[in-house]
Structure 1
Amino acid sequence: MHSDQPLIHVEVVYALPNMQRVLKLAVVADTPIQEIIEQSGILAMYPDIDLKKNKVGIYSRNVKLDGTAREGDRIEIYRPLVADPREIRRKRAEQAKLEADKNK
C-alpha cells in the first residue's frame, strides 16, 4: 500500500439465512473488488464462498470482480439461489389454497 494513494472505506457483506456478516475496511482507491474481498478475510471465514460461482454486487447491482469500489460502497457477496423464487411462491399459493379448501 502506497501512502500517497487515498484510502476509501468500504464494507464487505455476506448474508446467511439467519445473519449478515459485515466487515468494514479501508483500501487503496483503485483496488479491484476481488482483492478487497480477499483482504477482508471473509473467504477464510466462509470457505463455501466461491468467487467463480457467487455473484458479487454493490448495493444490489451486479459488478465484475475486476471493477473498483468508491468511498462508502457496500460490496455484497450473494449466495446462489437454492430454489427459483417463482416456484416457491407457486408452492405457497397451492398450500394456502389447500388450507382454505380444508377449512370450508
Structure 2
Amino acid sequence: MAEIRVQVCHPLPQAPQLRDLTLNEGSTVRDAVVASGLLPQFDPDHCPVGIFGKKKAPETVLRDGDRVEIYRPLVADPKDARRRRAVKKERAA
C-alpha cells in the first residue's frame, strides 16, 4: 500500500508540538491525531481539528503533505475582543 507523509500540529501556548508521520494512503485526520500521540485521549466530538487552518471532520481522508491541526478552545470570543479594543482605543483618543 502507498504511503503519505503528513504533519500533526498541536499549538500549545508554551511550546507548540509537531509530529511528522508516515501513514498509509487513505488514512484520516483521526488516524493522524491518534498516531501522533499528542492527545492520548483524543475525543473528536470535543476536540476540533483541521487541515491547513480549515476545520475538517475527523473522518476526512488525508493527502500527502497535509498539516493536521488540533485546535484549542478559544479563551475569548473574537468579536468581544475586538469590541473591547475599539472601546479602549476610543477612550485613549
Give 3-state SS (helix, strand or coil) of 1:25's partner.
Answer: strand
- CA deviation map 1:39-82 (0-9, x unaligned): 111013xx6x6432221111112211112100000001111212
Larger Rg: 1
The structure where helix makes up a greater share of residues is: 1
SS at match of 2:85: helix
- Structure 2 counterpart of 1:11, which letter? Q
After superposition, where does 1:42-61 map in structure 2 within 5 Å? 42-44=38-40, 50-61=43-54
Listed as ranges, the gaps of 5+ residues in structure 2 are none
- Across the aligned residues of Structure 1 and Structure 2, the Cα RMSD in angstroms comes to 1.6
In the other structure, the counterpart of 2:17 is 21
Structure 1 gap segments, 5+ residues each: none
CA distance in 2 between partners of 1:93 and 1:19 (Å): 30
Aligned residues, how many? 93
In the alignment, what sits opposite 1:95?
88
SS at match of 2:13: coil
User: Which 4+ residue blocks in structure 1 deviate beyond 4 angstroms?
Assistant: none
- 1:15-34, CA deviations, whole angstroms, 9 ceiling, x for partnerless residues? 12344221101000112211
Distance 1:95 1:18, change over 3 A: farther
- State the percentage of identical aligned residues: 34
TM-score, structure 2 as length reference: 0.87
Q: Which amino acid aligns with 1:74?
A: R
